Amino acid sequence: MDVLLAVLSGFLLAPLAPWLDRRLGKRWGWMWALVPLGLLLFFLRFVPALARGEAFTRRLPWIPRLDVHLSFHLDGLSVLFALLISGIGVFIFLYAACYLEGHPHRGRFFLSLLGFMASMLGLVLADNAIALFVFWELTSLSSYLLIGFEHERERARSAALQALLVTGAGGLALLAGWLLLGQIGGGIELSQWRHQREQLIVHPHAEWALALILLGAFTKSAQFPFHFWLPNAMEAPTPVSAYLHSATMVKAGVYLLARLQPIFGGTELWNATIVPVGAVTLSLGALLAVRQREAKRLLAYSTVSALGVLTLLLGVGTPTAVMAAMVFLLAHALYKAALFLIAGIWDHEMGAREPERLAGLRRTMPITTAAAVLAAASLAGLPPSLGFLSKELFYEALRTAPRWPLLLLANAVLAGMALVAVAGLMGVRPFFGRGPIELQPRHEAPWPLWLGPSLLSLGGTISGLWPASLERMLLNPAITAVLGESVHTHLALWPGLNPVLLLSVLTIVGGIGMYAGRGIVRAPALPSVLARFAPSAAYASLLNGIYVLARLQTRVLQSGHLRYYLLTIIAWTVSIVGYPLVTRADGVALRRPAPEHVLDIGLALIIPLAALAAVRFTSRLAAIATLGVVGYAIALLYMIFGAPDLALTQFMVESLTVILFVLIFYHLPRFTTLSGRWARARDVVVSLLAGGMVSGLVLSILGMSPPDAISEYFVHKSVPEAHGRNVVNVILVDFRALDTLGEITVLALAGLGVYALMRLRVEE
Amino acid sequence: MKRRRLEHSSEVHLRNAPLPALEWERASVILGVAVRALLPLLLLFSIFLLLRGHHAPGGGFIGGLVAAAAVALYALAYGATAAQQLLRLSPRGLVAAGLATALASALVGPLTGAPFLTGRWMKVGRLELGTPLLFDVGVFLVVIGVTLWIVLTLAEE
């Protein structure tokens, strides 16, 4: 199988998902997990070669003239991400099939989820910056659809819109940054930029490009001050939160930072921006997490914190920091996805997601309990989990950071304590805690629900116990890809007694204290002061400002009367076309047109007479009929002057217009004269001007010598290149088929609009 | 079962079985009878226009308009519901099918290693078949679908 096919398989399957899901039915829903499983096996095949230091590229020309290609680059970093996406995807698909069993739109859900998986794979594998951008925006779009999956709820809709606006705006900044970088470097392949570091970073525009790119990365990865969309995105069904909003999509920004490390790593702007942003996000997320009562929001804030950790580490950029980032990336994906899925189990089985409303679940849910304990241990950084290893490395990296080591360490330990408290809330309280047992489950969750969390959290523990092969096969190639040089690392569970271990102990002790005293952290005094200045408030007032502006301009411009719209459009056209016509044309060349035949003269008389009649009639039917005469006469003119395609179209449009009018007649009020004398005089003037303008335009065009290049080209190429002798049609369906594709899409949307308007009226 | 019934009913219109009731009191018998004769002719003509379009005046757009006008006339005579039954597919479905057909023809290029929308041709005997024709079929369907969508929505009221 080819990389291209692997990436696109999700897109190819997605449109079929609603139909396929109906065919699969209730019992075979787990079959969906086979798609990510196949992809996982496919990407695993690359691992041995990557461990030997090889890399793969695959390129398909897309828009060669603009240097845009579907080019994919498989190295340690991209394949690590691809394995996370497909591997966690297996459990998410399995889980979702069961979680949404019986939901009427499960097929639609899988449509979006498959689309997301494919775009995310494309994002991490793409080498071409424009292709990466396209996949980037596609993940935002599929995230929009998935957050708003339960679109009947207002909150889900606004959360989806918020996520789309924030990440979409960041995506546009990213595009601008890419283009700027492309201007500087003279190409838009990431692999090429990596070799141009010296040339790129000294350029005066490089900092602008980096700032724009960072804006994209920070919005996507929910960094302060753009973090607010992520907790709101928890309106999505739980498998989506686990997959997009903790394990994969929000890591796209982090992926981008890692990808750009060889280009911008170590520059002044890089360190000075990323390190503080990551540090603030890290502690803010952790502290806000403890304040939450609802499991998914709690996990969302702790995800914000984790994204801060990754950003901070990539900003520090030393080999230890990059290694810590890669280990943490893996550890976090494993335990956070598991915890989200466990929160989903509570919701699915008990209908409650507040850890403190649940108690004693261990008795009836032994497997879920075991999974939760292992995942929470990894979150808290307890040995022997992978989380412990990554926390040790994290502290070590900060301790040896080139700048502000003490400040960063203190900040990280504080955040670490809060995360230990979060782990207590997620992994201990609901299972071992005592309390009113009104929400007691009667049995363990069904297997597709517990399988994912168990295997993921078990994976986190096993890889903590025996990290050597993981390190050799996955982590080292990834670290090498980020740093651009090969590094040899050594992960060990027992690093010996050192200051970092002491910090770990301090974190855990402090965290237990914070868990016990969480009531104090939750005291609501703080936020009411800060709320007015919170980034989410800024978002809200910005959005509201746009609405106010839209309402204002609607009031000013939209009178609701068709006659004024027509008047405005016609008067405007006359003035902008007429003005240059009068001032700039080299005089109207009154070359005598050809009417010599009796038929021409007859038609030339019929058209104005019919138009005059249409104005004078006081019966609608008569007016329409005379307008029809005008139309048919013009079509005949087309016929005579050799444009049969145009004539045929005109005939059909005239006939259909009559039919539409006949249908509308029954809805119209009686014919009355509404306009006064002045209004009619004004209309006469505008009409005469419009007619005069068009006549003048036609005559002056006749006087010009036509630039013949393009029509000659079409006439000559029509038969040899497009196998057609009707040039008009060949242009429509071959030479300019892209325009036609756009036009029929617009046509379809227009039909949809008319339908919606009519239906809306009927319902009112 | 539904399909068979519809086939049967369209046959009914062409033979001398009883007409479906004229839905509007104002609809004329002349129109009803004329439509009965015109409908198959117009539909055939629309396909003729579609197929000859590449070499002679015609094409998907004009063909689509002719077909839509034919069904619209039918709707005028016998009402929107009868026209809807005649169509089998809903206008919305026609629009979707048309867009999908056009897109499919556009994707033949990338799937055979050429840019998007590249025309691909093959010879079947003396007949040349190519993706532009498929594209034109898509245009044809979209035009019929959109026109009838609007006409039937208006007529239903």
CA distance A145 to chain B (A): 20
Instruction: Write down the pLDDT at residue A118.
Output: 95
Q: Rounded CA gap, B120 and B131, in Å?
A: 5
Instruction: Calculate how close chain B gets to A128, using CA atoms only, in Å.
Output: 17
- At residue B57, the pLDDT reads 86
Q: Which of A687-696, B39-48, B114-123, B145-154 has the lowest mean pLDDT?
A: B114-123
Confidence of residue B145 (pLDDT cuts 50, 70, 90): very high
Q: Cβ of B153 and A724 within 8 Å?
A: no
Q: How many Cβ atoms from other residues are within 10 Å of residue B56's Cβ?
A: 15
Least confident among A229-243, A591-605, B35-49, B80-94: A591-605
Cα nearest neighbour of B70 on chain A: A656
B124 interfacial to chain A (CB closer than 8 Å): no
**Quick check: B23 pLDDT over 60?**
no
Least CB–CB distance from A733: residue in B57, B132, B147: B132
Interface test with B, best of A663, A718, A726, A746 (most B CBs within 10 A): A663
SS (H, E, C) chain B: CHHHHHHHHHHHHHCCCCCCCCCCCCCCHHHHHHHHHHHHHHHHHHHHHHHHCCCCCCCHHHHHHHHHHHHHHHHHHHCHHHHHHHHCCCHHHHHHHHHHHHHHHHHHHHHCCCCCCCCCEEEECCEEEEHHHHHHHHHHHHHHHHHHHHHHHHHHC
Q: Considering only residues B70 and A533, tell me which one the structure prediction assigns the higher pLDDT.
A: B70
Q: Residues A595-636: pLDDT tens digits?
A: 567 888 888 899 999 999 988 888 888 888 899 999 999 999
DSSP SS3 for A187: coil
Q: Cβ B59–A733 below 8 Å, yes or no?
A: yes
Q: Give the Cα separation of A309 and A751 in Å (integer).
A: 50
**C-alpha–C-alpha distance, residues A347 and A571, integer Å:** 61
Judged against a pLDDT cut of 80, whether residue A304 lies above it is answered with yes
Q: Which of A300-309, A373-382, A742-751, B2-11 comes out lowest in average pLDDT? A: B2-11
Q: Give residue A25's pLDDT band: very low, low, confident or very high (50, 70, 90).
A: confident
Give the pair of three-digit tokens for residue A217: 């990365």
Per-residue model confidence (pLDDT) at position A687: 92
Higher pLDDT, A662 or B37: B37
Q: How far is A724 from chain B (nearest CA, A)?
A: 5
Contact flag B132-A724 (C-beta cutoff 8 Å): yes
Of A524-528, A705-709, B153-157, highest mean pLDDT: B153-157
For the stretch A333-373, pLDDT in tens is 999 999 999 999 998 888 888 888 888 888 888 899 999 99
Nearest to A751 among B66, B95, B132 (CB): B95
Region B17-35: mean pLDDT is: 67
pLDDT confidence band for A762 (50 / 70 / 90): low
Mutate which: B90, B103, B142, vs A, most A CBs within 10 A: B142
Beta strand A56-63 with A68-74: parallel, antiparallel or unpaired?
antiparallel
Band the pLDDT of A526: cuts 50, 70, 90: low
Higher-scoring residue by pLDDT: A122, B57: A122
Q: Is B97 exposed, middle or buried (0-12, 13-18, 19+ CB in 10 A)?
A: middle
Site from B52, B92, B117, B140 to mutate, A interface, most A CB atoms within 10 angstroms? B117
Q: Does the beta-carbon distance from A725 to B49 stay under 8 Å?
A: no
DSSP state of A70: E
- What value does the mean pLDDT take over residues A373-398? 91
- High-pLDDT (> 70) share of chain A, %: 94
Most confident of A314-328, A441-455, A532-546: A314-328
Q: Looking at residue A746, what is its pLDDT?
A: 96
| Interface contact A751-B146, CB threshold 8 A | yes
CA B107 to chain centre: 23
Tell me which of B101, B154, B156 to substitute to probe the interface with A (most A C-beta atoms closer than 10 Å).
B154
Q: What is the mean pLDDT of chain A?
A: 88
B79 at A interface, C-beta within 8 A: no
Taking alpha carbons only, the member of A259, A221, A36 closest to residue A139 is A221
Lowest-pLDDT choice from A101-110, A487-496, A573-582, A605-614: A487-496
Is A737's CB within 8 Å of B136's CB?
no
C-alpha to C-alpha distance for B11 and B36, rounded to whole angstroms: 11
DSSP-based three-state secondary structure for A128: strand
Residues 96-115, chain B: which have Cβ within 8 Å of A?
98-99, 102-103, 106, 110, 115
Question: Is the predicted ipTM greater than 0.90, yes or no?
Answer: no
CB-based contact, B25 to chain A, within 8 Å = no
From chain B, the residues in CB contact with A748 under 8 A are: 95, 98-99, 142, 145-146
Q: Where are the domains of chain A?
A: 284-523, 525-558, 707-764
Among B99, B110, B130, beta carbon nearest to A723 = B130
Q: How far is A57 from chain B (nearest CA, A)?
A: 17
pLDDT of residue A29: 85
Which of A724, A747, A751 lies at the smallest CB-CB distance from B54? A724
Asked if residue A125 has pLDDT above 90, the reply is yes
B57 contacts in chain A (CB < 8 Å): 644-645, 648, 726, 728
CA distance B154 to chain A (A): 6
Residue corresponding to tokens 């598991």: A338
Contact flag A659-B76 (C-beta cutoff 8 Å) = yes
Tens digit of pLDDT for each residue in A685-740? Answer: 999 999 999 988 888 877 776 666 777 888 888 888 888 888 888 888 888 899 99
Yes or no, beta carbons of B76 and A730 under 8 Å apart: no
> CB distance A648–B106 less than 8 Å?
no
On the question of pLDDT at A591 being above 70, the answer is no
Q: What pLDDT sits at residue B12?
A: 40
In our burial notation (b when 16+ CB lie closer than 10 A, e otherwise), range A495-529 reads eeeeebeebbeebbebbeebbeebeebeeeeeeee
Partners of residue B120 in chain A, C-beta under 8 Å: none
Contact B126, B83 (CB under 8 A): no
Q: B63 and chain A: CB distance < 8 Å anywhere?
A: no
pLDDT at B10: 42
Closest CA to A83 of A260, A312, A299, A326: A326
A-B interface: how many C-beta pairs under 8 angstroms? 143
State residue A131's pLDDT score.
Answer: 94
Report chain B residues whose CB lies below 8 A from the CB of A656: 65, 68-69, 72, 147, 151
Question: Do residues A289 and A418 lie in contact, with contact meaning Cβ atoms separated by under 8 Å?
Answer: yes
- Reported as a single tens digit per residue, the pLDDT across A537-581 is 889 899 999 999 999 998 888 888 888 899 999 999 999 998 888
Give the integer Cα–Cα distance in Å for A298 and A230: 11
Judging contacts by C-beta atoms under 8 Å, the chain B residues touching residue A18 are: none
Q: Do A748 and B56 touch (CB under 8 A)?
A: no
The span from the CA of A567 to the CA of A496, in Å, is 84
pLDDT value at A14 more than 60:
yes
CA-nearest of A371, A647, A374 to B62 is A647
CB of B21 less than 8 A from some CB of A:
no
Q: What is the mean pLDDT of chain B?
A: 82
Q: Is the dihedral of CA A470, A474, A479, A480 positive or negative?
A: positive
CB pair distance less than 8 Å for B54 and A747: no
pLDDT for B9 beyond 60: no
- Which of B61, B65, B155 has the CB atom closest to A663's CB atom? B155
pLDDT(A171) > 90:
yes
How many Å apart are CA A412 and CA A415, to the nearest integer? Answer: 5
